[in-house]
Amino acid sequence: MQQRISLITLGVDDIETMSRFYTEVFGWMPLRQSTDQIKFFQLNGVKLALFDRDALAEDADIPAEGSGFRSFSLAYNLGSKEQVDVCFEELISRGARIVKQPEMVYWGGYRGYIADPEGNLWELAWNPYLNDD
Amino acid sequence: MQQRISLITLGVDDIETMSRFYTEVFGWMPLRQSTDQIKFFQLNGVKLALFDRDALAEDADIPAEGSGFRSFSLAYNLGSKEQVDVCFEELISRGARIVKQPEMVYWGGYRGYIADPEGNLWELAWNPYLNDD
C-alpha cells in the first residue's frame, strides 16, 4: 500500500450550505464531476468531498448516529505567524466561525481554529518544524 | 486561500495501537518528527497525523465528548477492481477489520471499506470517473 490518500469525505447534513462555505468562504472551485449529491474539490494531490452523512454511513453499512467531537481536524499550514493572522481574519470576515484565536503553542508553533458551518475543525497553523509540500 | 490541505489529524484513544496499525498493516513509515505523543505520515502532499483525541479537543478548546459515526471517511483509490480486491485482501490478512466487502456501486465504481482499530473508515475504491493524482 503506497503512502498516499485519494479522498477525504466529509459527511454533511446540508450540502448546499456546506458547498457554499467551501466555495465562497474558502474560495475553492468544485470539480466538474460534482453533482447536487456530491461535491469534489481538488487539493494538493488529495481531493476533499462533501457528501450526505446518512448516505455516507449507508455506503459503508454502518449506523449513521453520531454526536459530539468527530475526533479529527484538518489543517492548513502557512509560512509565518503573520500569514496565519491574515488568513484567519480573512476567513472570519467572510463568515467562518471562530473556534480559537491564533496564539503561540507550547511546541513552538502558532495556530488558531475555525469551523465550517457543521463544526468540522480547520486549524490554521505555522509550524516551523514541519515542512509543507 | 489556496486549494490545498496540510494535515489530517485523527484524534485517537490509543496512539500505540493506532500507530502500529498504520505502520504494520498499511506499511507506512512515520516521519522523523514523530514523538510518543504524535505520529506523522507523509502522504501525497498532505500528511496524516495521529494525536490523542482529548489533547486534540483541548487544543481547539472544544468538548472532547463524542460518540458514534464521525461523519468522515478516507479513501484510497486504485486502478482497477482487481487491484481493490488484492489490496483489500492484503489489509485483511494483516489484521484490518472488514467493514464492507468490495462490490460494484450504482454510480459505476467498485469499493469496499475497512476500519482502523478505532473505527476510522477507509474506503478502497476504483472510480473510473475520478482521476487519481
Q: B49 and B89: one domain? A: no
- Whether residue A133 is predicted with pLDDT greater than 90 in this model: the reply is no
* CA atoms A9, A14, A16, A21: torsion sign: negative
Q: A55 and A20: one domain? A: yes
Reading phi first (left if > 0) and then psi (alpha if -120 to 50, else beta), residue A83 is in alpha
Average pLDDT over residues A40-57: 97
Query: Can you tell me the distance from the alpha carbon of A72 to that of B12, in angstroms, rounded to the nearest whole number?
Result: 9
Question: For residue A131, is it within any domain?
Answer: no
Q: How many domains are contained in chain B?
A: 2
For residue A110, what are the CA distances in angstroms to A71, B8, B18, B39, B130? 21, 17, 27, 19, 36
> Which chain A residues touch B3 with a CB distance below 8 Å?
28-29, 41-44
Average pLDDT over residues A60-77: 96
Question: For residue B47, is it within any domain?
Answer: yes
Q: A82 and A121: one domain? A: yes
Q: A79 and A122: one domain? A: yes
Query: Can you tell me the distance from the alpha carbon of A36 to that of B68, in angstroms, rounded to the nearest whole number?
Result: 26
Q: A54 and A17: one domain? A: yes
Q: A53 and A80: one domain? A: no
Question: For residue A116, is it within any domain?
Answer: yes
Q: B51 and B19: one domain? A: yes
Question: For residue B103, is it within any domain?
Answer: yes
Minimal CA separation from A133 to chain B, in Å = 6
Q: B95 and B51: one domain? A: no
| CATH code of the domain containing B24 | 3.10.180.10
Which pLDDT does position A132 carry in this prediction?
60
What's the mean pLDDT when you consider all of chain A?
95
Grid look-up 476510522 returns B120
| Contact in structure between A1 and B90 (CB atoms under 8 Å) | yes
Query: Can you tell me the distance from the alpha carbon of A20 to that of A28, in angstroms, rounded to the nearest whole number?
Result: 10
Grid look-up 508553533 returns A109
Question: For residue B68, is it within any domain?
Answer: no
Domain that holds residue B99: 74-126
Q: Is A67–B72 a contact, with Cβ atoms under 8 angstroms apart? A: no
Which pLDDT does position B67 carry in this prediction?
95
Query: Can you tell me the distance from the alpha carbon of B59 to that of A111, in angstroms, rounded to the nearest whole number?
Result: 10
Per-residue pLDDT of chain B (133 residues; tens, 9 = 90+): 899 999 999 999 999 999 999 999 999 999 999 999 999 999 999 999 999 999 999 999 999 999 999 999 999 999 999 999 999 999 999 999 999 999 999 999 999 999 999 999 999 999 998 876 4
> Which chain A residues touch B42 with a CB distance below 8 Å?
3, 133
Minimal CA separation from B76 to chain A, in Å = 5
- Whether residue A131 is predicted with pLDDT greater than 80 in this model: the reply is no
Question: For residue A15, is it within any domain?
Answer: yes
Question: For residue A64, is it within any domain?
Answer: no
Which pLDDT does position B130 carry in this prediction?
84
| Contact in structure between B111 and B103 (CB atoms under 8 Å) | yes
Share of chain A above pLDDT 90, in %: 95
Question: For residue B110, is it within any domain?
Answer: yes
Grid look-up 490554521 returns A124
Q: Is A100–B70 a contact, with Cβ atoms under 8 angstroms apart? A: no
pTM of the model: 0.94
User: Half-sphere exposure of residue B45, counting CA atoms within 13 Å on the CB side?
Assistant: 15
> Which chain A residues touch B100 with a CB distance below 8 Å?
60-61
Q: A99-110 pLDDT, tens per residue?
A: 999 999 999 999
Q: A55 and A78: one domain? A: no
| Contact in structure between A108 and B35 (CB atoms under 8 Å) | no
Q: Which residues contact B92 (CB under 8 A, 6 or more apart)?
A: B98, B114
